[in-house]
Amino acid sequence: MNKKEIRIFTPPKFVQKKIDFSYLYRTTNQQIQYASKGRFALKHILSSFPEIDSILLPAYACNIILSTVKKLGIAYDFYDIDSSDLNADISSIINIAEKTGVKAILVASMYGNPADLFKIEQFCISKNIVLIDDAAQSFGAKLDDRHVGTFGNAGFFSFSPGKPTAGHMGAFFWTTNILYKINYVHHNLIHKIIYLDYYFNRLNIYKYRKYHIFKLLRYINIAFFKFIDLSNDNIANFEKGILGGILESMNNGDFDFRQSFFNKFYVRFEGNDLFQIVKAKRGIPNNHKIVIVCSDKTIANDIIDFCLKKNIYASNGYALLTDKLDYLPVSRIIDGCIVEFPIEDDVVKMNYLFDVIDKFIQFNDLKISKRSNE
């Protein structure tokens, strides 16, 4: 493998297998429904509760959450996060929820690490607040044998290349409003082309990137989501025959390499002065990325630049969903300081990443030493 290939992140391979809906029902203990993307699952969840006119959101999360809420005309506010696992700070939730009187709270378990869902669920029950359990980044993680995504009044998870459930598209959601049903439509050809884009340009990019014609699939994919409404799409028949392999691989140990590499990284770099490693505080995590919080924005930018020059894929975390940070002290501190590294099933690439991080730390130690001697 040459170093140019090290920069490309590929999702884990999986065996195509028919999805077992009865297994999903048993696993989640909920009446699962399909949506074509996570954002549409959230849209349907919110639509299933007509009483929701205000919602509390995490300040640090994917901006799709906020754009979905805005499109539905729901008022929103934000709560702060815990710096150690980037999940909900329950004291911030309680404080802001009691001040604002919100009707719903969305809790996202970030980067495969379970949020404090038992305590948040109990608070929401006591205040008659709808709790939405966003497991888009954490399905497969558990708290006391209960899957993240099954707490509260509704929950969802989704398939995409950068998620624990790494697939081309699709989501599953549930809501306690069992009368809510989607008037499904079908765009099966569009789903097939989106899958082919994923297959050729992500899952098997090493093999097919020399064939430039496959790049056209990416542009067609972008056009679909820009011009065609897929929010009420049902699952295509061919997807029923492949998505089960992802869920089965996640649950039968095929993806255990992710936790193994995460643990090795933690042992090797825990306690350094440049960054903190984001780690689960509770339950059984399903880490699919190595995430660090750097001591400042300069370090974060420097480590990304350093890695990119070494042909390693690295990226910043999410931008904050709000710039009103007076009551969000932790969000203010971590803003711009987060760096993500995907975990890949490739010992050579992961060891190379570890060695490059080691060199970055040594390089910075040398810079600090030179400054102190001047």
Give 354-364 pLDDT, tens digit per residue: 999 999 999 88
Residue 172 lies inside a defined structural domain of this protein = no
Nearest to 330 by CA among 29, 59, 6: 59
Residue 95 lies inside a defined structural domain of this protein = no
**In which order are the strands placed within the sheet that holds 104-108?**
33-35, 171-175, 154-158, 130-134, 104-108, 54-58, 75-79
Residue 167 lies inside a defined structural domain of this protein = no
Which pLDDT value is given to residue 1?
A: 45
Residue 306, exposed/middle/buried by CB under 10 A (0-12, 13-18, 19+)? Answer: middle
Structure-token pair, residue 345: 């099933």
Q: What is the pLDDT of residues 86-103, one digit of tens each?
A: 999 999 999 999 999 999
Residue 276 lies inside a defined structural domain of this protein = yes
Which of these ranges, 62-66, 99-103, 162-166, 231-235, has the smallest mean pLDDT? 162-166
HEC readout, 272-290: CCCEEECCCCCCECCCCEE
Q: What is the pLDDT of residues 24-46, one digit of tens each?
A: 898 888 999 999 999 999 999 99
Per-residue confidence band for 372, with pLDDT thresholds at 50, 70 and 90: low
Residue 160 lies inside a defined structural domain of this protein = no
| DSSP letter for each residue of 195-224 | HHHHIIIIITHHHHTT-GGGHHHHHHHHHH
Per-residue confidence band for 3, with pLDDT thresholds at 50, 70 and 90: low
Q: What is the pLDDT of residues 280-324, one digit of tens each?
A: 999 999 999 999 999 999 999 999 999 999 988 899 999 999 999
- How many domains does the chain contain in total? 1
Residue 281 lies inside a defined structural domain of this protein = yes
Give the CATH number for residue 283: 3.90.1150.10
| DSSP letter for each residue of 314-348 | -EE-PPPS-S--TT-HHHHHHTT-EEEEE--S-HH
Residue 368 lies inside a defined structural domain of this protein = yes
Is residue 6's pLDDT more than 70?
A: no
Residue 162 lies inside a defined structural domain of this protein = no
Nearest to 296 by CA among 263, 261, 339: 339
Rounded Cα gap, residues 93 and 76, in angstroms: 13
The boundaries of the domain holding residue 300 are: 3-7+253-373
pTM of the entire predicted model:
0.94
What is the residue type of 133? D
CA dihedral in degrees (207, 219, 232, 31; nearest 10)? 30
